[in-house]
């Protein structure tokens, strides 16, 4: 499982966040070492001096301070000198032992000392000095009670939020042209040339966008030239074919077999020309409409039954409407059924279905012919790949290429597989939702 982001946007935001975290940790360490620690050491030093003044003439557990002296000392400095019992009554149990302060105080006072800190009602230092272990010194630190750290906390949170937000905005601005370029490249791959992309962003992105726009313009011009060339060739071929057919009608009846052969060849050539035109035709110019796939299947099956072949249908009773280009999808159904009729002699089976979890409908056409070798399956969708080596017939090799082009235009999928009991199964999947365009 990958925990690090894979996109450039995610990596940029992650890097900025990581650098911010490292900066905060280093700042905390520097403040702790060069600000907080010296301050605490200085505080310990001053408190130790005050304790030494209190017990300047006292040493050991046998010598006690007079009540008058402790009272006057408390009035003058605010520092209480309490016995164990008095300290417990004034909140010693609420104070927390700190080993660091205890070690520092022991070094200052020259013996084992214990330090506790009370943070309940007021911020106070409790110290058991080595000079008089029977006493507890309570030193109030009123300045710390009045300190409000909330502005510092708000500042740290605000700086962190602004840094991450700024990094997010920077990464978004940097990656937006790349996202536009990605969507445009997907459209070009589907044969839909987008308008030129705006050339903005960093110098590298501008250079890539400019090169892409140049490439897209070249592909658009190439597509226009190809369409014009195919239209011209189609026109130039159909005219002499028509003349040849008219001339063949004048052949005598005893040579009728020659005439029939010529007519059959002309019809095959016209069919091949039609396939070329279908392949370069821009089906995307047709408007998307919500259609019932079952209805289209029934219309096409009724039309193909004129060829005196048995076509059985197994249609799902209720299919959701699917956004399609009606004429283009009917061409897909026509080509699939025509291929099944051409390459088999048995019954043609047509089924429809609905995959709810993947939100798509499908139509499936099965024949009972020889099928296609698995090694040749992937190549069958390439233009000019003929099926004669696979299924024993000649053709232009554009039938499945036309089908795939139309299905890809609908953001769908087509699959071929050999049935376990013989024959080829072609399945076309169409999504229920329109794909987002760039």
pLDDT for 103? 86
* Cα torsion angle, 387, 391, 395, 400, sign: negative
**Number of Cα atoms under 13 Å in the Cβ half of residue 185:** 10
- What is the residue whose two structure tokens read 């063949």? 248
* β pairing state of 96-97 and 289-291: unpaired
Per-residue confidence of the chain (438 residues) as pLDDT tens digits?
456 676 666 677 777 777 777 877 787 777 777 776 777 777 777 778 777 777 765 555 545 666 777 777 777 777 888 888 888 888 888 888 888 888 888 888 888 888 888 876 677 888 888 878 888 888 887 654 444 556 766 776 777 777 777 777 777 777 788 888 888 888 787 667 788 888 877 777 788 888 988 888 888 887 777 767 766 777 677 778 787 877 777 777 777 777 778 877 787 777 777 766 766 665 556 788 899 999 999 988 888 776 667 889 999 888 999 998 888 898 899 889 888 888 888 889 999 999 989 899 999 999 988 888 888 887 887 766 655 444 444 455 677 888 888 888 888 999 999 988 888 999 999 998 765 443
Name 428's bridge partners: 363, 414
pLDDT of residue 349: 92
Q: According to CATH, what is the number of the domain 286-431?
A: 3.30.565.10
CA dist., res. 86 & res. 182, Å (int): 78
- Within 10 angstroms of residue 430's Cβ, the number of other Cβ atoms is 21
User: What is the torsional sign of CA 369, 372, 378, 379?
Assistant: negative
* CB neighbourhood size of 246 (10 A): 9
Q: Is 149 exposed, middle or buried (0-12, 13-18, 19+ CB in 10 A)?
A: exposed
CA distances from 155 to 160, 164, 348 (A): 9, 14, 75
Q: Cite the residue boundaries of each domain of the chain with CATH code 3.30.565.10.
A: 286-431
How far is it, in rounded angstroms, from Cα 252 to Cα 364? Answer: 47
Alpha-carbon distance of 235 to 253, in angstroms, equals: 31
Angle 293-304/326-342 helices, nearest 10 degrees? 40
- CB-CB contact of 117 with 57 (8 Å): no
Whether the CB-CB separation of 305 and 313 falls below 8 Å is answered with no
List of residues 6+ apart from 404 with CB closer than 8 A: 381, 414
Q: Are 342 and 307 in contact (CB under 8 A)?
A: no
User: What pLDDT is stored for residue 437 in this prediction?
Assistant: 44
> In this structure, how many other beta carbons lie within 10 angstroms of the beta carbon of residue 272?
15
Strand partners, 355: 360
Which residue, 371, 327, 333, is CA-closest to 352?
Answer: 333
Provide the terminal-to-terminal Cα distance of the chain, rounded to the nearest Å. Answer: 31
Cα gap 90→351, rounded to integer Å: 89
Query: What's the pLDDT at 353?
Result: 93
What is the CATH number assigned to the segment(s) 8-147?
3.30.450
Q: List, by residue range, all CATH 1.10.287.130 domains of the chain.
A: 149-281
Please give the DSSP secondary-structure letter assigned to residue 36. Answer: I
Alpha-carbon gap, residue 325 to 287, rounded angstroms: 6
Yes or no: say if 387 and 358 are a contact pair by the CB < 8 Å rule.
no
347 close to 422: Cβ distance less than 8 angstroms = no
* DSSP type of residue 255: G
Q: Give the number of residues written for the chain.
A: 438
Q: Where does residue 228 rank: exposed (0-12), middle (13-18), buried (19+ CB within 10 A)? A: exposed
pLDDT at 378: 77
Q: Are 65 and 58 in contact (CB under 8 A)?
A: yes
Q: Is this model's pTM higher than 0.75 or not?
A: no
CATH of domain 149-281: 1.10.287.130
Look at residues 59, 157, 33 and name the one whose alpha carbon lies nearest to residue 111.
Answer: 59
- Helix, strand or coil for residue 66? coil
Contact 401, 394 (CB under 8 A): no
CA gap 119, 125 in Å, rounded: 9
Q: What is the pLDDT of residue 256?
A: 78
- How many Cα atoms are found within 13 Å in the side-chain-facing hemisphere of 215? 11
Decide: 262 and 248 in contact? Cβ < 8 Å. Answer: yes
CATH 3.30.450 positions along the chain are 8-147
């Amino acid at each position: 499982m990958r925990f690090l982001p894979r996109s450039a946007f995610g990596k940029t935001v992650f890097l900025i966040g990581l650098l911010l975290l490292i900066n905060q940790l280093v700042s905390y360490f520097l403040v702790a070492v060069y600000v907080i620690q010296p301050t605490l050491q200085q505080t310990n030093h001053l408190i130790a001096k005050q304790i030494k003044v209190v017990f300047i003439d006292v040493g050991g557990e046998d010598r006690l301070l007079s009540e008058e002296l402790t009272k006057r000392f408390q009035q003058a400095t605010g520092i209480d000198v309490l016995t164990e019992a008095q300290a417990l009554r004034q909140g010693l149990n609420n104070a927390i032992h700190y080993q660091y302060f205890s070690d520092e105080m022991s070094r200052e006072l020259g013996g084992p000392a214990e330090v506790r800190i009370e943070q309940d009602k007021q911020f106070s230092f409790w110290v058991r000095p080595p000079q008089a272990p029977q006493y507890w010194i309570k030193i109030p630190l009123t300045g710390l009670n009045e300190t409000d750290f909330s502005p510092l906390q708000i500042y740290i949170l605000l700086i962190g939020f602004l840094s991450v937000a700024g990094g997010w905005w920077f990464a978004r601005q940097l990656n937006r042209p790349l996202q536009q370029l990605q969507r445009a490249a997907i459209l070009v791959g589907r044969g839909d040339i987008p308008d030129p992309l705006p050339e903005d962003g960093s110098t590298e992105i501008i250079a890539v966008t400019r090169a892409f726009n140049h490439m897209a313009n070249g592909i658009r011009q190439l597509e226009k030239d190809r369409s014009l060339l195919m239209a011209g060739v189609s026109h130039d071929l159909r005219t002499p074919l028509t003349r040849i057919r008219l001339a063949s009608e004048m052949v005598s009846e005893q040579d009728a077999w020659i005439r029939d052969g010529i007519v059959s060849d002309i019809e095959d050539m016209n069919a091949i020309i039609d396939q070329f035109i279908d392949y370069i035709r821009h089906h995307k110019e047709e408007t998307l409409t919500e259609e019932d796939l079952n209805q289209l299947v029934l219309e096409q099956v009724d039309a193909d039954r004129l060829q005196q072949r048995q076509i059985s249908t197994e249609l799902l009773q209720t299919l959701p409407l699917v956004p399609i280009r009606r004429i283009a999808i009917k061409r897909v159904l026509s080509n699939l059924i025509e291929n099944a009729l051409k390459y088999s002699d048995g019954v043609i089976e047509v089924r429809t279905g609905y995959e709810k979890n993947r939100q798509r409908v499908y139509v499936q056409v099965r024949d009972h012919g020889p099928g296609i070798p698995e090694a040749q399956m992937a190549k069958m969708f390439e233009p000019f790949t003929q099926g004669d080596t696979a299924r024993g017939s000649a053709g232009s090799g554009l039938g499945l290429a036309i089908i795939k082009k139309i299905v890809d235009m609908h953001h769908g999928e087509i699959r071929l597989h050999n049935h376990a009991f013989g024959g080829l199964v072609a399945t076309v999947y169409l999504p229920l939702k329109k794909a987002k365009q760039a």
